[in-house]
Structure 1
Amino acid sequence: MVQASSRQVLTRHRAAVLGKPIAHSMSPVLHRAAYEARGMADWSYDVRECDAASLRDLIAGLGPTWRGLSLTMPLKEEALLIADTASDVALRTGAVNTLIRTGRGWHGENTDVIGIREALRDAGVAAGALPRAVVVGSGATARSALAALADLRVPEVIFVVRKDVRASTLAQARDHGFRVVVLNETEGAAAVLEAPLTISTIPAGAADSLAGAMSELGVAASATSPTQRVLLDVVYADWPTELAATAAAYGARIVPGIEMLIHQGAAQFQLMTGSPAPLEVMQRAGRAAALG
């Protein structure tokens, strides 16, 4: 009887990260470390593989113990359509990476914006200090990057894409009032080497050709760049990426994707539990898991 009661207490509040693929996710490391630090033995955090087509049915089948969901690729846009309510940031970016159960249903939030902004601030990027930034990619995470850059009062954004910038992303950039430049990967290699800030928002391996183009340009382009350059690569598994290693070789300060994940996870923890996140605990756990 005592064992059954204990098991009920341990599963009173449930949360999970959803996505496909999902086995690489480090969100459980962060949230479980936070639960332990706060003494929340009645909270659990799991991993569930789910694609966009299955998301609605999965959420509909969750019982009353479920309190929150973290959402990664390819679910962020679908989650916005499913949410019963959504924050202004989620609506502006067209992406939800967090669902919180409320009395009115599931509420959608986008904590990726916080994650990017705070990771950049930790790296010394000050609001109003940069003339421009490069954004690699134009999907849901790129739109979160735009919102973070708007918070940091960056006036110009250079998109580096293989083809065209998504129409929704371009519209958001213009709504923020950015001056917009669009470059292909060949042209974008020089921009990344010279820009004071680059945010790569694309999956692992997708920027390898850009890194190769940067290596071909090499010292000639980087010699004309500002003294202080920062590159944030949102990838956090199998670190470092080719892009990060190449940028570091030419003098950029690298912000690993785990730093973004930690800050967005801390914001998720507070939204889900109502308690302040133990940020330093989450930083130690996340960095140890991602960087060794």
Structure 2
Amino acid sequence: MRRTPGLGVLSPHATRLEVWGDPIAHSRSPQLHAAAYAVLGLDWSYGLRRVDEASFAGEFADLDDSWRGLSLTMPLKGVAFAAASARDRRAELTGAVNTLLLDPAGPRGFNTDVGGIVRALADDGITTVERARIVGAGATATSALVALSELGVDEVDVVARRPEAVTALTELGRRLGIAVRTTSFTASDHGAVELTIATLPGDAPVTDAAADALAHSGGLLLDVVYGHWPTALSAAWDRADRVARSGLGMLLHQALLQVRIFRNGDPDAPLANEAESLGAMRRALEEPTTA
């Protein structure tokens, strides 16, 4: 038996991990995790599995003590939240879990999307923000709002097709001390912001006129999409000669936090050889995919 920091005594066979979601074939997580575990000298396997909400409970119940943890992508972050017996603050605020650590005391849930956004923006020198915009009002928008709160934002405009979809974000904003305002895709003039975080699916229809209006005053764009690039929004930012980043940076950094969790039991506990691990993960993103 081995003792891992923060986790107590674990089975010597607790070396299996996977990313679950639907769709899942496009996921870059196996490349990222394999690169980190190679640097750390861990003989852990990390695969992927197509799992939807209906099949999650059965698949999860079948896991034995050879499993160390799971990464969860859409549409499983809500059911993973419900499956966790304990959750970190970011997960509690967002109602979304994208990481389950299969601790002997019970599954522990974490949201590393928030930290992934914060750390990706830091790569561009953005460590504080006063006013920002979120495009989209789905599950990822909650992580974006919590990330912005950690950067000190005071006001956030949420651009959504359905005003009622922003209600949950408005309530979360009140809890975080952020003024959340709803705006429409049809608006011709948006107030200037320092940063835009887009949380729409990559193939979401956005007219050129709407995208251009957002780009005109949108500051840097972080588009969480990485499987469909360029997006309608990133193309508009390019036309406006403004900086647009894909979701690969967010993916990289949220994966590093997951590796910390799976190795150390804590997203705030740095890895041994962390700089080397992060470098290997960056290089893995540059490799071509077979999906």
TM category (shorter chain) comes to 0.7 to 0.9
Shift in Å, 1:114: 0.4
Question: One-letter code of the match for 1:196?
Answer: E
Paired residues for 1:25-174 under 5 Å:
25-40=27-42, 42-127=43-128, 130-164=129-163, 165-174=165-174
Post-superposition offset of 1:84: 1.3
Contact 1:16 1:69 in 2 (8 A): yes
**1:15 is aligned with what amino acid?**
L
Instruction: Give TM-score, length-normalised by structure 1.
Output: 0.85
C-alpha distance in 2, partners of 1:211/1:73? 27
Output the amino acid matched with 1:186.
Answer: T
Q: What is the Cα-based RMSD across aligned positions, in Å? A: 2.1
- 2:192 maps to 1:202: no
For residues 21 and 208 of structure 2, the distance between their equivalents in structure 1, rounded to whole angstroms, comes to: 27
Deviations 1:55-82 (A, max 9, x none): 1221111111111101111111111111
Confirm or deny: 8 A CA contact 1:132 1:197 kept in the other structure.
yes
State the alpha-carbon separation in 2 of the partners of residues 211 and 191 from structure 1: 15
2: distance between equivalents of 1:212 and 1:94? 34
Distance 1:78 1:166 in 2: 21
Distance 1:69 1:190 in 2: 43
Q: Does 1:256 align with 2:246?
A: yes
Q: 1:186, 1:210 within 8 Å by CA — same for their partners in 2?
A: no
The residue that corresponds to 2:177 in the other structure is 177
Q: Amino acid of the residue matched to residue 198 of structure 1?
A: T
Residue 203 of structure 2 contacts residue 228 of structure 2 at CA under 8 Å; is this kept in 1? no
Q: Is the 8 Å Cα contact of residues 66 and 101 (structure 1) preserved in structure 2?
A: yes
- Aligned-residue sequence identity (percent) comes to 42
Aligned residue type for 2:40: R
Q: Helix, strand or coil for the counterpart of 1:153?
A: coil
| Alignment partners' CA distance in 2, 1:235 and 1:190 | 25
Aligned length: 268
Q: 1:32 to 1:214 in 2, by over 3 A?
A: same
SS in 2 for 1:185: coil
SS in 2 for 1:162: coil
Partner Cα distance (2:222, 2:246) in 1: 6
Superposed displacement of residue 118, structure 1: 0.6
Identify unmatched segments of 5+ residues in structure 1.
Answer: 1-9
Q: What residue is the counterpart of 2:235 in the other structure?
A: 245
The amino acid of 2:130's aligned partner reads P
Q: Which runs of 5+ in 2 are unaligned?
A: 1-11, 265-270
CA shift at 1:210, angstroms?
4.8
Deviation at 1:287, TM superposition (A): 3.8
Partner deviation per Cα, 1:176-217 (whole Å, 9 max, x = no partner): 111121011112x6438x4321001121111x31544234x5
| Separation in 2, partners of 1:114, 1:49 | 25
Q: Which has the higher helix share?
A: 1
